[in-house]
Structure 1
Amino acid sequence: MTDEDRSPEDEFQEMLRNLLGGQGGAIDPAQLEQLRSMGIDPAMAQQLMRQLQGAFAAAGDGPGEIDLSSAKTHALHLANKDGLGISSGDKQDFDQAFALAGLWLGEATGISDVATPPRAITRGQWVEATLPVWQELAEPVAASIADAMTEAIGAQLPEEMKGAAAGAGRLMRTVGGQMFAAQLGSVVGRLSLEVVSGGDVGIPVMPDGEAAILPQNFADFGRDLEIDDDQLALYLATRELAHVRLFRHAKWLRLHVISQVTEFARGLHVDTDALEDLASRFDPSSPEELRAALESGALLPPRTEAQTAALTRLENLLATIEGWVDVVTTEATSRLPAAERVAEAVRRRRAVGGPAERAMGALVGLELRPRRLREAAAMWRAVTEAVGTAARDSLWDYPDLMPGADDIDDPTALIARLQAAARGDAAERDEFDDALEALLAQEAQGGNGDAADAPDDTTGDDTPEGPRPV
């Protein structure tokens, strides 16, 4: 086929082959001029191709997946911008705080200590330790954005080019994944400037069994509280250890929390109308508008009823966890004169959240705040006063024992069950017991009925039965 015989679709396909083949995005100017006849600005097409190739070259292994290396680069750039490390004096101070906090915590709960020594870490170390969890939480949303971007951009193409562009779907998903990775890295990097400890965001983002405090952010937390650093360090170290001990003891709890978060995220779908409107005026050389839309949550439509219900379940779960941590920490730090002031500052901080936490909420459509923390803490205090710490902590032994939303509303029935179990009384019957008994009775009656209807194999005497007539 000669150059004169080639159609615009052929030209476009060749450009895609050059791009996907990693040939530097080199596009013949004549090809670009050919595209002008199809209503496409050659300069913008060339800019788009260069950006797409850069995104494609840095993409992960799967379409629409977040490129963790790209997100990590962005996050570490922000986390390490001040160049601050941890002095030997700070490290020693927090080591001592963790040691004393561990002793105090042993008096407040029977849940055993963790094997991994707690430590002071830098912002960059926090990013590296937690980024895999943030990626897991964000990937369902990234995939949704990538799918919607593919559809939106495809809708903007002229009809005669849609067939030629059909093979570029994976590339468009890559662009979405790359853009989302950059925003995820930016948000996690800014979050590293705010968090004070590993469990500060309420979910287990640190590796299992690891407790940590960030001295670089510790000073910012206590700057306006007018409380001695020693008391602040002891309280925060105790709270961090309580959080880690709980997740280490209830080995099922970590997966339970992460699963509920990802279940909520998988239900999110991008507002395609908003994305198509954005795609119609998208300038590849100036992607700030798309980045702002991603970070503001403008591409995420209002929650459905199912998502609202899932969010309520998650908030109750987080409140139940943090309520226990709050009560145990309060008991363990009763010797600290300023303990209640620090506790109130922590509660308010968790309820309001910082700028980076709000950005994370916009990015994945989820704000990780225990809105019923005070009610859950009141439940745990009531349980402790009624049955003691051992029975209280036994509620974390198995998933089906953990208090639910009804128990947060009114812990009376929960306390009655625990008191009955302590006396050795039979557990009070509930709807599940009644339903199970009815099902077993129905099966038993069905079995007897079948036996009664069976043919009689006896002859009425001891003589063995002969052959039956046919």
Structure 2
Amino acid sequence: MPDEPHDDPTGDDPAKGQNPFAGTPMEQIFAAMGGQGGQAPDLGALFGQMQRLFSGSGDGTVDFAVVKDVARHALSAAGPDPSPHSGQVGALDDAVRLAEGWLDRATEVPAAVTSTSAWSRADWVEQTIGTWEQVVAPIAEHVVGAMSEALPEEARAMAGPLLGILRQAGSAMFAQQIGQALSELAGEVVSSTDIGLPLAAAGHAALLPHNVAEFGDGLEIGAADVLLYVTLRECAHHRLFAHASWLRPAI
């Protein structure tokens, strides 16, 4: 007599049996915290990350070392992030020389690129975090301060030391949000000036070859032409920021 079929509580997908959080909001939350496949992350790593988030001074400032740590953890969880190889570095150098030659003939604004780099996504976070701190920190500190100032005066008097905890929690929240946002940007940008801000040092042109390749997918244009287009934009941006010296500090 043949065996009677047994109900499979996990359905047809064996992966669901291994991940009890599949299809639930907890899957996305755990993935953001470093859990592989949306499963619960290592508790030691999770508590370590929480400790770093709440390790600020409590004065409302955002710790950008924590921001960088959050961004790098999110990038690691998002998938492979290969370092550029020598062939990509050489192709970038060639593209910069060609782009600068074309721009020399097209504009009177002098060349400004003095060095080049090929970055991975993690490199982009590492190399631009200082600029992001200058741009974002004043906004974050103002908002964190406003969270406590929004309380009525009587409530602030009653809260006392709890206001410091509130500011620290606000700082931790902003560090988490900024870190997540930077990790998402790192997966999309193709160069150091791609978003209109000069994120790298003056005169330093940087491209993300892996992102450039993804940008060119489906365009029916050769990879070399896509690289040249992105490089032209990068070099032109550097000329603009160098020629209009007031622009960088104004931004």
Q: Same fold (TM over 0.5)?
A: yes
C-alpha deviations, 1:224-254, integer Å up to 9, x for none? Answer: 1100011111121111101011111222110
C-alpha deviations, 1:64-84, integer Å up to 9, x for none? Answer: 111101100011223344131
State whether structure 2 residue 88 is matched by structure 1 residue 76.
no
Aligned residue for 1:251, secondary structure, equals: coil
Q: Give the aligned partner of residue 417 of structure 1.
A: none
State whether structure 2 residue 104 is matched by structure 1 residue 140.
no
Letter in 2 for 1:177: S
Contact 1:213 1:237 in 2 (8 A): yes
Contact 1:149 1:173 in 2 (8 A): yes
Offset of residue 191 of structure 1? 0.2
**Greater helix proportion:** 1
Cα distance, 1:147–1:120 mapped onto 2, change above 3 Å: same
Q: Give the aligned partner of residue 100 of structure 1.
A: 98
Q: Give the aligned partner of residue 20 of structure 2.
A: none
Cα distance, 1:76–1:55 mapped onto 2, change above 3 Å: closer
State whether structure 2 residue 200 is matched by structure 1 residue 202.
no
- Return the structure number with greater relative CO, CA threshold 8 A, min gap 6: 2
C-alpha deviations, 1:390-445, integer Å up to 9, x for none? Answer: xxxxxxxxxxxxxxxxxxxxxxxxxxxxxxxxxxxxxxxxxxxxxxxxxxxxxxxx
Letter in 2 for 1:58: S
C-alpha deviations, 1:14-62, integer Å up to 9, x for none? Answer: xxxxxxxxxxxxxxxxxxxxxxxxxxxxxxxxxxxx9xx94785215x7
Q: Give the aligned partner of residue 252 of structure 1.
A: 246
Measure, in 2, the Cα distance between the counterparts of 1:172 and 1:244: 42
Offset of residue 197 of structure 1? 1.0
Q: Give the aligned partner of residue 83 of structure 2.
A: 85
Aligned 1:264-303 pairs, distance under 5 A: none
Cα distance, 1:115–1:97 mapped onto 2, change above 3 Å: closer
Q: Give the aligned partner of residue 21 of structure 2.
A: none
Q: How many residues align?
A: 201
Q: Give the aligned partner of residue 110 of structure 1.
A: 108
State whether structure 2 residue 212 is matched by structure 1 residue 215.
no
Measure, in 2, the Cα distance between the counterparts of 1:56 and 1:63: 14
Measure, in 1, the Cα distance between the counterparts of 2:52 and 2:232: 44
Aligned 1:441-452 pairs, distance under 5 A: none
Contact 1:55 1:175 in 2 (8 A): no
Offset of residue 223 of structure 1? 0.5
State whether structure 2 residue 178 is matched by structure 1 residue 184.
yes
Aligned residue for 2:192, secondary structure, equals: coil
Cα distance, 1:172–1:224 mapped onto 2, change above 3 Å: same
C-alpha deviations, 1:151-194, integer Å up to 9, x for none? Answer: 56x66xxx8x9656313323321211111011001101110000
Letter in 2 for 1:212: A
Aligned 1:2-17 pairs, distance under 5 A: none
Q: Give the aligned partner of residue 10 of structure 2.
A: none
Letter in 1 for 2:82: L
Aligned 1:247-396 pairs, distance under 5 A: 247-256=241-250, 258=251
Contact 2:113 2:239 in 1 (8 A): no
Cα distance, 1:56–1:93 mapped onto 2, change above 3 Å: closer
State whether structure 2 residue 231 is matched by structure 1 residue 237.
yes
Measure, in 2, the Cα distance between the counterparts of 1:66 and 1:224: 40
Measure, in 1, the Cα distance between the counterparts of 2:202 and 2:101: 21
Letter in 2 for 1:100: L
Measure, in 2, the Cα distance between the counterparts of 1:163 and 1:236: 55
Contact 2:144 2:171 in 1 (8 A): yes
Contact 2:156 2:163 in 1 (8 A): no
Contact 2:203 2:238 in 1 (8 A): yes
C-alpha deviations, 1:230-288, integer Å up to 9, x for none? Answer: 111112111110101111122211012x2xxxxxxxxxxxxxxxxxxxxxxxxxxxxxx
Contact 2:117 2:206 in 1 (8 A): yes
Q: Give the aligned partner of residue 59 of structure 1.
A: 56
Contact 1:65 1:177 in 2 (8 A): yes
Contact 2:113 2:238 in 1 (8 A): no
Cα distance, 1:228–1:115 mapped onto 2, change above 3 Å: closer
Measure, in 2, the Cα distance between the counterparts of 1:212 and 1:55: 30
Runs of 4+ in 1 over 6 A off after TM superposition: none
Contact 1:86 1:121 in 2 (8 A): yes
Contact 1:55 1:174 in 2 (8 A): no
Contact 1:56 1:171 in 2 (8 A): no
Gaps of 5+ in 1: 1-49, 259-470
Give the root-mean-square deviation of aligned CA atoms: 2.6
Measure, in 2, the Cα distance between the counterparts of 1:93 and 1:143: 42
